[in-house]
Amino acid sequence: MAGKVALLLWAQTLGLAGAQTTQLLVEPPWRPAVLWDRVTLTCQGSGSTGATNWYKDGQRRWQERHHYFTVTKSGTYMCDRPGTGRSPTVTVLDESLVLQVPARVLLEGDTVTLRCRRRQNKQLTRVSFYHDGKTLEGLHDGTKLSLSPLQLSHSGHYSCKGRVNAVLPLWKESELVTVTVTVHRVPPSGVTLWAQPPRGQVTLGDRLVLTCTVAMGTGPLSFSWHREGSGALLGTGPHLELWHVEDNDSGQYRCRVSDGDSMAGSDPLNVTVLVPVANATITPGPLSHQVYAGANVTLRCSVQVGSAPVTFTWLHNGQEVAQGPHLELKAIDVGHSSTYQCMATNQLGQDGHRVFRALSPQLALEVKPRSPWVTGSENVNPTGEEGQTDPLS
């Protein structure tokens, strides 16, 4: 079998969106090209308007102000445009029998025909086609082989064989050509974000995983993660993992997907870092109060940090006596004396299964019998500074 020739079917190199490469176009648009077709090669690129360097059989041969020329000798050609570099190679043969494939990217589902030709289109009879060394029966019509619709299984090495003399049994076989079927690329679309834990709510210090999915798009695809208000690139894969979330990790997250030519982005996903309650306090202070019987006392509980919802429970001598951020004691008597404490609680995590508690310092309340010199029933706060002045204070 004759020597092998690889038919180079090129596609734009996947890289940064908008990146350009030098291409070498052939007219007529068949690969491999044949010298007896009067072949024109055109060097195409988006670089500067400088001269084009031409290479033949791997060696730089000449420089042209024009970016095209007509081939007069067989060989392997390549061009170089300033700013975009060298092109793929194009082979021009001067053989008596050749099998040709359309000089373009062959996509899955295309209509593609291979043609077996004799020099100067002279008569060729009893043609056979071969795919990876196996004879193809019943798939061709004379000198043409149809691969329609094109499938990935059609990729491989092809050749043809035919009778070139009607009198003497003289046979010729073409050199091999390589057919490469490319999966049709679909621009990415339908980009969606998913969060674990769900809804993007995660407890401080826990692990958060965001996943970016694409409804449509063929690879290879590249991913990039961003948070609104920050120009930093957070990740480059389909998943973004934050192993120990901090309070400042809250915000809106987006995922962008690119196939090198186009880009699609997701809607923002709001991530909320939930903070356990801490530093519960009772106001007014200090931690010890003396009040007189009959006064009205209001104690208030608050926390310095803690994500809502926060519930408050009041303890009197360690026993639960009330719920809510305020504890109102009206017309108190000596039985209200002793210690008071507030317990703040919030339930975080998935389905609120984790409970966090913060206890305030204890407040000691002492109720004194009301002075016989004081008349009326004025409201008194825990400091005893409001209402009538007691001579014993």
Angle at 19 between CA 15 and CA 25, to 5 degrees: 110
* Confidence at residue 22, expressed as pLDDT on a 0 to 100 scale: 81
DSSP secondary structure letters along 309-351: P-EEEEEETTEEEEESSEEEE-S--GGG-EEEEEEEEEEESGG
Task: Using the predicted structure, report yes or no on whether residue 3 has a pLDDT greater than 70.
Answer: no
Task: Give the Å distances, CA to CA, from 250 to 26, 274, 370.
Answer: 56, 9, 54
Question: What's phi and psi for 334, nearest 5 deg?
Answer: -65, -20
What does the pLDDT look like over 106-123, one tens digit per residue? 888 888 999 999 988 888
Q: How confident is the model at residue 347 (pLDDT cuts 50, 70, 90)?
A: confident
Task: Using the predicted structure, report yes or no on whether residue 333 has a pLDDT greater than 80.
Answer: yes
Instruction: Report how far residue 181's alpha carbon sits from residue 152's, in angstroms, rounded to the nearest whole number.
Output: 6
In the predicted model, what is the mean pLDDT of the chain? 81
Which of the residue ranges 18-27, 64-73, 219-228, 246-255 has the most confident prediction, judged by mean pLDDT? Answer: 246-255
Domain residue ranges in the chain: 23-182, 189-273, 278-368
Note the pTM of the prediction, 2 decimals.
Answer: 0.49
Cα torsion angle, 66, 71, 72, 75, sign: positive
* Confidence at residue 343, expressed as pLDDT on a 0 to 100 scale: 94
Cα torsion angle, 281, 284, 289, 291, sign: negative
* Confidence at residue 29, expressed as pLDDT on a 0 to 100 scale: 92
Residues 6+ apart with CB under 8 A from 258: 17, 188, 221, 222, 224, 264
Lowest mean pLDDT of 190-199, 286-295, 351-360, name the range.
286-295
CATH code, 189-273: 2.60.40.10
- Tell me how crowded residue 190 is: count the other CB atoms within 10 A of its CB: 12
Tell me which CATH homologous superfamily contains domain 23-182: Immunoglobulins (2.60.40.10)
* Confidence at residue 16, expressed as pLDDT on a 0 to 100 scale: 31
**In the predicted model, what is the mean pLDDT of residues 211-217?**
88
**In the predicted model, what is the mean pLDDT of residues 272-285?**
88
Evaluate whether 23-182 and 189-273 have a shared fold. Answer: yes
* Confidence at residue 109, expressed as pLDDT on a 0 to 100 scale: 85
How many Å from the N-terminal Cα to the C-terminal Cα in the chain? 119
Contact indicator for 93, 33 with CB cutoff of 8 Å: yes
What does the pLDDT look like over 65-102, one tens digit per residue? 778 889 999 999 999 877 778 889 999 999 989 999 99
Residue bearing tokens 């109102």:
328
- Residue 229 has which token pair? 């208000």
Q: How confident is the model at residue 242 (pLDDT cuts 50, 70, 90)?
A: very high
Q: How confident is the model at residue 61 (pLDDT cuts 50, 70, 90)?
A: confident
Lowest mean pLDDT of 30-34, 277-281, 347-351, name the range.
347-351
Q: How confident is the model at residue 275 (pLDDT cuts 50, 70, 90)?
A: very high
DSSP secondary structure letters along 9-60: ---PPP-STT----EEEEES-EESEEGGG--EEEEE-SS-S-PEEEEETTEE
Contact indicator for 182, 151 with CB cutoff of 8 Å: no
Q: Is 198 helix (H, G, I), strand (E, B) or coil?
A: helix
Detail the DSSP E strand segments found in 103-179.
106-107, 112-118, 125-131, 134-136, 140-141, 144-147, 156-163, 171-173, 177-179
What does the pLDDT look like over 122-177, one tens digit per residue? 888 889 999 999 998 766 668 899 988 888 899 999 999 988 876 666 888 989 99
Residue bearing tokens 């094109």:
150
Q: Which of 248, 258, 341, 273 is nearest to 301 (CA)?
A: 341
Q: Which of 364, 362, 276, 295 is nearest to 333 (CA)?
A: 295
Q: Which CATH class name applies to 278-368?
A: mainly beta
